[in-house]
Amino acid sequence: MIEKTMTSISDEWVTLNVGGKLFDTTISTLIICKDSVLYKMFKREDPNSFITDLGKPQIQASRKDKNGAYLIDRDPIYFRCILNYLRTQPTQAKDLIIDDNVSLKGVREEANFFQLDHLVELIDKQLTRVSDFTRKDILLNRQSIKLNKRKLYDLDLQGIDFQKENFSYSIISNCNFNGSQVSKSHFLHVIGDNCTFIKANIDNTNFSGSDLHGSNFSDSDLGHSSFNSCNLIGSVFDQSNCVGALFQRAIIENASFKNSNLEHAKFQKAILMNSDFTNAQIQNCHFTSADIRGCKFDWKNISFGLFKKAKVTQQQYDDIPLSNKHLLGFKIIDSLEYIEKINRKNKNNNNNNNNNNNNNNNNNNNNNNNNNNNNNNNNNNNNNNNNNNNNNNNNNNNNNNNNNNNNNNNNNKNNNNNIASNSNINSSNDSNDNTIIENQMIENLILTENSNNNNITT
């Protein structure tokens, strides 16, 4: 019952009188942005919400005119853009529906009043996309203005002669070059997403290093042009002439080359995953080291091509109806196996790094241990030397002391013996402690005795 009631409320049509102009819309359109003023004005409450006044809007709606239309005192020109935004809910600035004669700043003020923050963000982005020139400016001043390093957003440039022109480092996003003459021009490192070059003459033109994803080159002459290192994801080259064109190292995933002429074109090391080459002429076309997994080819129509080290899946390889396919040099890589191989490679690299770190740590530890051992050995040697020196010194000291003691004892013994034989004086081993006078007397006695002995012997 509640769902039925809420559905009927959301589908209810209302009339708004904005600045004297009437707008008919539904409640569901007005309340689609929950943080907006319009949501708070027209949202009917349901039992699951947090507002207590059941069935009433969160903000009192404006008064009605005599015909029952809600009165809103705002500019109807800008409010139309607000209503279009609520109806379409665009996610990108380029998808905003705003007429050329309507001021973006005026719409931004209106969006800010109604608290439509996302619309404000989109308009801010759109304001930064203002081009440096208009189509009229370029046509009137074709010979005097420079188009390199310029902002050229969303311009209609179809049918203009741009031969030998320089657009390098410019922003040409969403520009229309359909039917234009762009031969021998330079588009180096341009930002040109979602451009169209349908049925344009673009031979011998250099797009190297540019971002051209989502662009359309169908039915164009691209002979000998260069797209090296470009971003061409999702681009279309159907029925185009790409003879001798260069696509080396370009990213061309999910692109289309159906019915195109790619003779002598070069795709070395390009990423071409899931691109469509149905009915394309690829005689003498170089795909060396290119990633062609998931690509569609008419292999029966390929008389000669260079696929050395070109990456294919096992299923692709099995489906190739050529008898000499084993001689073409394909590199079979299934997605899962390829991922596992990369993971193993990364793991091995990590292990090698860890081993190197461990070896370095071990070497450091060994060096530290060796240093410690050397220090310990040096300390031990020093200690041993010191001990030996101390022992030697002690031994020498002891020996000297012993020798001195022995000499003293011997001298004392001799003295004592001489004294004992020549006198009745008893002395002990401590005769060295006698006074100087006593020693002199003893010496005199000894000398006298010795003299007498010598006389007797004679």
Tens digit of each residue's pLDDT (9 = 90 or more) over 199-247:
999 999 999 999 999 999 999 999 999 999 999 999 999 999 999 999 9
Sign of CA dihedral 382, 386, 389, 395: negative
For residue 299, what pLDDT is reported?
85
Residue 2 clears pLDDT 60, i.e. is over it: no
For residue 36, what pLDDT is reported?
92
> pLDDT higher for 410 or 359?
359
Q: How confident is the model at residue 350 (pLDDT cuts 50, 70, 90)?
A: low
Q: How far apart are CA 243 and CA 284, in angstroms?
A: 10
Q: How far apart are CA 227 and CA 260, in angstroms?
A: 16
Q: Is pTM, for the whole model, over 0.85?
A: no
Q: How far apart are CA 368 and CA 199, in angstroms?
A: 76
Domain residue extents for the chain: 2-128, 141-333, 337-458
Residue percentage of the chain with pLDDT more than 70? 67
Tokens, residue 132: 């440096």
> Terminal CA-to-CA distance of the chain, rounded, Å?
165
Q: What are phi and psi of 43, to 5 degrees?
A: -75, 120
Tokens, residue 230: 């470009």
For residue 142, what pLDDT is reported?
86
CA 222 to chain centre: 35
Query: Which of 86-100, 220-234, 414-428 is the least confident region?
Result: 414-428
The DSSP secondary-structure symbol of 327 reads G
Q: How confident is the model at residue 322 (pLDDT cuts 50, 70, 90)?
A: confident
Instruction: Domain 141-333: give its CATH code.
Output: 2.160.20.80
Q: In this structure, are strands 305-306 and 285-286 parallel, antiparallel, or unpaired? A: parallel
Would you say 300 and 325 are in contact if contact means Cβ atoms under 8 Å apart? no
369-419 pLDDT, tens per residue?
A: 444 444 444 444 444 444 444 444 444 444 444 444 444 444 444 434 433
Tally the residues of the chain: 458
For residue 143, what pLDDT is reported?
86
DSSP-based three-state secondary structure for 89 = coil
Options 3.40.50.300, 3.40.50.880, 3.30.710.10, 3.40.950.10; CATH of 2-128: 3.30.710.10
| pLDDT, averaged across the chain | 78
Burial class (CB in 10 A: 0-12, 13-18, 19+), 446: middle
Residue 445 clears pLDDT 80, i.e. is over it: no
Most confident of 134-143, 223-232, 297-306, 375-384: 223-232
Q: What is the 3-state secondary structure (H, E, C) of 121-145?
A: HHHHHHHHCCCCCCHHHHHHCCCCC
Name 46's Cβ contacts closer than 8 Å, sequence gap at least 6. Answer: 2, 5, 6
Burial class (CB in 10 A: 0-12, 13-18, 19+), 355: exposed
Tokens, residue 339: 């991922």
Name 288's Cβ contacts closer than 8 Å, sequence gap at least 6. Answer: 268, 269, 306, 307, 308, 309, 310
- For residue 386, give Cα distances in angstroms to 381, 394, 447: 8, 12, 50
For residue 419, what pLDDT is reported?
34
DSSP-based three-state secondary structure for 235 = coil
Tokens, residue 198: 């349908």
Tokens, residue 42: 């027209």
- For residue 169, give Cα distances in angstroms to 2, 5, 109: 59, 57, 33
Q: How far apart are CA 282 and CA 300, in angstroms?
A: 11
Would you say 222 and 199 are in contact if contact means Cβ atoms under 8 Å apart? no
Q: How far apart are CA 407 and CA 415, in angstroms?
A: 12
Q: How far apart are CA 225 and CA 199, in angstroms?
A: 15
Q: How far apart are CA 240 and CA 219, in angstroms?
A: 4
